[in-house]
Structure 1
Amino acid sequence: ALLSALLLGDGLGLNLLIVAVPAALGAFFAARSAGRRLRPWTAVWALGGLMLLAVPALRDAGWPVFLAMVSALALGSLALHGSRSWPGVLLGSVGLLPSVAGGARWGWRGVRARADDSRGRVRTVARTTAVAVVLLIVFGTLFASADAAFADLLGSLTPDMSIGDSPWRVFLFVLGLLGALAAAYSAAAPVRWDGITVRPGKARNRAEWALPLIVLNLLFAVFIGLQLVVLLGGYDKVLEETGLKPAEYARQGFWQLLWATVLTLLVIALALRWAPRGKAGDRTLVRSVLGVLCVLTLVVVASALRRMDLYVDAFGLTRLRISVAAVELWLGVVLVLILAAGVFGARLLPRAVMVSAAVGVLAFGLVSPDGLIAEQNVQRHGNGGTIDIEYLDGLSADAVPALNELPEPLRSCALENVQRDLGLRDAPWYATSWGEARARNILEEHPAANQGDRCYDLGRDADERDGYEEEDSYDPY
């Protein structure tokens, strides 16, 4: 709670990890006192959550940081409650939230009981703490006034506290206190979400169950066969007959294929619910039909990613495009896990899907999506393509190393917003990401020049000037 009030009010960075570590230790000691043992999967979820909190310390962009924070909270909740089944994974990932009220009541009862039993020790601790604080203030002030270097060091290490942000600090204190108590309470008395059982649906006979899926498999096969024909030389003919531009053809297909992948996963889940399961032949039929469907869907995933690649080549990479491509790639990983579960058993499937999602979020933050967007667009411009400076100058400080490679005046126009934002920030070391610090160093060595109105006419998308306007020009990120 104290670390939350002192460190979190200045921004996000390494402070999230600093706050999370003692909260995790408190939960560990509470679980040990309650007789719980540290199991391998508990350690996996806990370490994974702490690793995800390293993303805010590395990246300046808010959207991968937000995904990492939400995923870290979900993994931390799984570490506290445990998970084996689908209800355990889905409900256990948010199980920490209902424990907030119970944790507060539990903490209050514990403090009252300890205070009644040890009034003398409480007074001793209070006196010792007060004396230590007074000594630190007095001698710290003397040393700071005696040496400027020590004063600068002390100022950089000490959080900036002012009266104006006191209500915000109090809120952060309460938030940290309730969160730590909820974590410790959940560790000592977890809710067993795995105890919830989902009954399978009524089993259907083989023909009623398999015939619709076989028809769906045939439809997938016909579509994939047409895609192979296009790849083998019919691409120009398809464009000629449809009247579409290459980028329009690519964009038109990606979103439909993305939804096809999502709906296929839904079909697989429902099919498993009503699958015939009486005999060994039934299990073979289920594995065969659904296995073929998964394999065909993987080809659809590859086709969707190829279409997105064509679209990016035509118009450049954006936050929306890299996000949906990452989701499509993760859906392909889920299909591979389902195939593996059909061969080796589905006992670990819920945990494996959650691990794949967490690894995906961690990788997404570590690769720096804003940096990749800037790098791809700069490379595309170097190869003779157009560049949208109006879009690139809205990226975060993570994009500065790539944008710094642009020729002038494109470089200054792309970096002017980041340079202005960095000039307005005065965050301490624990609330400053590595991406922001790196961008600040680059711009201090080579500042962006003021180009005035020239930036409004530079780097506009040539396709929009020729009358083709992208339908997804609005980017919600």
Structure 2
Amino acid sequence: MAGIVALIINEDKVLLKNQIGTTILRLPIINVAKDEDEKGSLNEYLISNISNDEEGLLKIDPNLDMLMNGFSLYLVDYSNKSSSLKKELPEGLVWEDISILDKLCERDVLIIKVIIESCIKVKYNSIGISRIENRIKHSERGNKYLRKVNLSISDKRIDEETPMNLKLRALMLSVLVGIIYFIFSFHKGYKTSSYLGISYFIFASMVLIYFIAINGIRNKNGLFGYFLIGSSMLVALTFAIYTNPLIRSLNRIFVPSTLIMGFMILNYKDVDFNLGNFINGFLKRIFTHSFKGITKVPDVTFKLLKGKAIKKDKEVYKSILQGILISIPVIFLLGSLLSGADNVFGYYIKNLNEAVTLFRIGDSFWQLISSIFVAVYIFGLIWSFRYKFRDESDQYFEKKTMEPIKIITLLIIINMLYLVFTKVQISYLYAGDVKLLPGGLSYSEYARKGFFELVIVTIINMVLISFLKAKVTEEDEKLSITLNVLYTLIVGFTLNMMFSAFYKMNMYVEAFGYTRLRILVQLFIILLGIVIILQLIHIWMRISMFKPILVVAVMFYLFINFFNIDAFIARKNIEVYKDKGMNESYLKILSFDALKEMDKALEDGKIDRITYNNWIKVNKDNLDTNNDKWYEYNYYIKESNKR
């Protein structure tokens, strides 16, 4: 004997059954004999116990028939037929408020969720169903479950409604991206990779074209997205210009990051620019949604192969494949004969054969694997933008819960500490009087140390203020003003710390010269100064500063890329040390970006030919490339090869 588990609802009521001898409530179970019809049995049960009217009482959809442990699941919805219900129920049955769902056993809750999920799939809704959904949303777990269900159903609909030619385009572009990666990344097997020159810009452009071809630009007013993508492409272009290894390593992170951020903004109109929510959505796009998109590859491929377009042209593709197979032995025969007939043609055929043998299976295995992974990952990333923005209702920060009096006490103590620190700096650092220093400290030793610690304290202060602004309740106006005043004092002390750090770093540079790290630290301190001023605006105006801060940071990074740090270091260090004995060991590790400055120094007699030649040799040895492939093109490497 089989059975039915029924969810029977009437607007804000749900029908439940008492278990004999207990107070436990469960969903009704209707037994059905093997020879009986399920719908007939259920309909008979309803008329006998619940309803006076047979017509239109039972809401059944074939998609709702789901087998669970031998029981079929049914939904019976009286939300629009409440007038036909019996005034009294037989013993053991009771109408309960929908709020009772929280107290049902885990199995019944699961059954209700399954039925609600099925209603969502078939787009069935009523007063009762809506109220059950709202009840489920009251719990954090239930809310997440419904959002997951809605997103999953939405994704499936999008996949089903996507035209066949768009799926084909996505797969072809994915394969093309993999081929380009295969060619550009390795040219002598996996052990020796090619140099990233103009190839990086081409690859980034290909990913951008891929995104537009599959998703288009849905948020055409997303100017910030255009800015991020434009910045990303400009930085990608620097791979064809500069050779600074430190900046190139940072660019490998910057380019894909800003490109994906730009995709997010141009694809969705509801992106939250709160710092926590934006970063949370960005990271999920990279590590979660992209891999969910990857799972669509087999499904899309299978449906594509079964599609009408493929079936229609099946004979055409079959004929093309047969023609290719027939042509292979013919080409080999004719090619051999023509190679013997013309020596020049034979030379090119021989070189082509050597090029092909470079990609032996043994040498190219990891090359092939990495290319396939890149192709599949890019497919997953681009395809994931076809779906809704999954984090639209996620909140990174919880509600404000911190009590302001405690925080005010904390901020007062911190400000007192910073006040003492500032007084000490004014007395000793800025005054510069060696006699004032205690403990036998020299002024140069005191001034040149501590800038990294000051930078770290500055960052801590910025994070602390942002966190407290998000967490501390500010309902009382006086307490709110007090907090803002204390925040502002911390900002003032922080600006002094940044100036102090910059001052110390500048003295260190005067003593020991410029390095990449020292220049980057100075530029970073300037950036922090701008950011902390924007944070001051945020304190009093209560507006989000994330977007302006990101714009400033990106513009600063663009400046760093096109500033040519190595050329600046070469020029300044040669000027400073020309009369003191130059630090040639550091000049040797500068990249080819300093080529023009080194040429000028050689012509002016500020460095000798041996130093210059050693610098050229060290750079060529470090690059480990002849830069002989067109996609390896780099301006400074080409110029250095002329020397």
The normalised TM-score by structure 2 is 0.59
Q: CA, structure 1 residues 239+175, in 2 after alignment: closer, same or farther (shift >3 Å)?
A: farther
1:371 aligned residue: 567
CA distance in 2, matches of 1:54, 1:45: 14
d(CA) in 2 for partners of 1:186, 1:111: 16
Aligned length, in residue pairs: 427
Deviates more, 1:351-360 or 1:310-319: 351-360
Matching residue of 1:102 = 292
The corresponding residue for 2:520 is 323
Q: 2:372: which partner in 1?
A: 174
| 1:90 equivalenced with 2:267 (yes/no) | no
Corresponding position: 1:407 with 2:607: yes
Instruction: Give yes or no for the alignment of 1:280 onto 2:477.
Output: yes
- Aligned counterparts, 1:65-144, within 5 A: 65-82=248-265, 83=271, 84-94=273-283, 95-117=285-307, 118-119=309-310, 120-121=312-313, 124=316
User: Structure 2 matches for 1:436-475, cutoff 5 A?
Assistant: 436-441=637-642, 444=643
Match of 1:464 in 2: none
CA distance in 1 between partners of 2:585 and 2:399 (Å): 53
User: Does the residue aligned with 2:286 lie in a helix, a strand or coil?
Assistant: coil
Residue pairs, 1:201-220, within 5 angstroms? 201-206=400-405, 208-220=406-418
Out of 255-264 and 89-98, give the one that drifted further: 89-98
Contact 1:8 1:172 in 2 (8 A): no
Deviation at residue 231 of structure 1 after TM alignment = 6.4
The 3 A distance-change label for structure 1 pair 422 and 52 is closer
CA distance in 1, matches of 2:318, 2:434: 81
How far, CA to CA, are the matches of 1:369 and 1:110 in structure 2? 48
Q: CA deviation at 1:238?
A: 4.4
Compared CA separation, residues 237 and 182, structure 1 to 2 (3 A): farther
Q: 2:247 aligns with which of 52, 55, 64?
A: 64
Distance 1:233 1:262 in 2: 26
Whichever residue aligns with residue 252 of structure 1, its letter is K
Query: What's the counterpart of residue 451 of structure 1?
Result: none
Decide which of 528, 550, 565 is 1:354's aligned counterpart. Answer: 550
Q: State the match for 2:233 in structure 1.
A: 50
Distance 1:123 1:147, change over 3 A: farther
5+ residue gaps, structure 2, are 1-177, 187-193, 266-270
Give the match for residue 461 of structure 1.
Answer: none
Residue aligned with 1:426, SS: coil
| C-alpha separation in 1, matches of 2:202 and 2:629 | 14
1:290 deviates by 1.0
Residue pair 2:195, 2:625 contacting (<8 A) in 1 also = no
CA distance in 2, matches of 1:291, 1:245: 31
Aligned mate of 1:26, from 210, 213, 216: 210
2:243/2:591 contact within 8 Å kept: yes
In the alignment, is the contact (CA less than 8 A) between 2:514 and 2:572 conserved in 1?
yes
Residue 185 of structure 2, aligned match among 8, 21, 26 = 8
Question: 1:263 and 1:3, CA in 2 relative to 1: closer, same or farther beyond 3 A?
Answer: same
445, 449, 457: which one pairs with 1:252? 449
**Deviation larger for 417-426 or 360-369:** 417-426
CA displacement at 1:417 relative to structure 2: 0.9
Q: State the Cα deviation string for residues 376-420 of structure 1 (Å, max 9, x = none).
A: 2222212x3443322331232223333331421433344331244
Secondary structure at 2:398 match in 1: coil
Report the secondary structure of 2:243's partner residue.
coil
Assess if the C-alpha contact under 8 Å between 2:627 and 2:637 holds in 1.
Answer: no
The question of whether the paired residues in 2 share the 8 Å contact of 1:59 and 1:398 is answered with yes
What does 1:230-241 correspond to in 2, within 5 Å?
230=428, 233-238=431-436
- Cα distance change of structure 1 residues 422 and 12 upon mapping to structure 2, 3 Å threshold: closer
TM-aligned CA deviation for residue 215 of structure 1: 3.6
* 1:86 shift after superposition: 2.3
TM-score normalized by structure 1? 0.77
Distance 1:126 1:399, change over 3 A: farther
Give me the identity figure in percent: 17
CA distance in 2, matches of 1:350, 1:36: 23
> 1:339-398 CA deviation, whole Å, 9 max, x = no partner?
122244333x2233333333333322222233333232222212x344332233123222
TM-aligned CA deviation for residue 58 of structure 1: 2.2
8 Å CA contact retained: 1:374, 1:403: yes
- Residue 102 of structure 1 deviates from its aligned partner by 2.2
Q: Which has the higher contact order (CA 8 A, sep 6+)?
A: 1
Moved over 4 A (4+): 122-131, 136-139, 145-148, 158-161, 229-233, 238-241, 419-424
After superposition, give the CA deviation of every residue in 1:27-84 in whole Å (9 maximum; x if it has no partner). 223334xx94344133333333323322322221222112122122222332344442
Query: What whole-Å deviation, never above 9, does each CA across 1:453-474 have from its counterpart, x for those lacking one?
Result: xxxxxxxxxxxxxxxxxxxxxx
What RMSD, in angstroms, separates the aligned Cα atoms of the two structures?
3.7
Q: CA deviation at 1:261?
A: 0.9
Aligned residue for 2:401, secondary structure, equals: coil
Q: Is the 8 A contact 2:289 2:384 kept in 1?
A: yes
Q: Distance in 2 between matches of 1:98 and 1:337?
A: 32
Report if aligned partners of 1:159, 1:428 keep a CA contact under 8 Å in 2. no
Per-residue CA distance 1:219-256 (angstroms, 9 max, x = gap): 3344334434446643443468643252x323312122
Determine helix, strand or coil for the equivalent of 1:189: coil
Between Structure 1 and Structure 2, the one with more helix by share is 1
Query: Is the 8 Å Cα contact of residues 275 and 286 (structure 1) preserved in structure 2?
Result: no
Aligned residues of 2:465 and 2:487 also touching (Cα < 8 A): yes
| Structure 1 residues 365 and 194: CA distance shift in structure 2, 3 A | farther
Q: Offset at 1:422?
A: 5.9
Task: Work out whether 1:200 is the aligned partner of 2:399.
Answer: yes
Between the aligned partners of 1:340 and 1:322, the Cα distance in structure 2 is 28
Match of 2:494 in 1: 297
DSSP 3-state at the match of 1:302: helix
Report the CA distance between 1:201 and its aligned residue.
Answer: 4.2
Shift of 1:128: 7.0
Q: 1:319·1:373 contact (CA, 8 Å) conserved in 2?
A: yes
Aligned position for 1:452: none
Tell me, yes or no, if the aligned pair for 1:316 and 1:377 is still in contact at 8 Å. yes
CA pair 232-325 structure 1, distance change in 2 beyond 3 A: closer
**What residue identity is the alignment partner of 2:490?**
L
Check the 8 A contact 1:378/1:387 in 2, yes or no.
Answer: yes
- Are 1:418 and 2:619 counterparts? yes
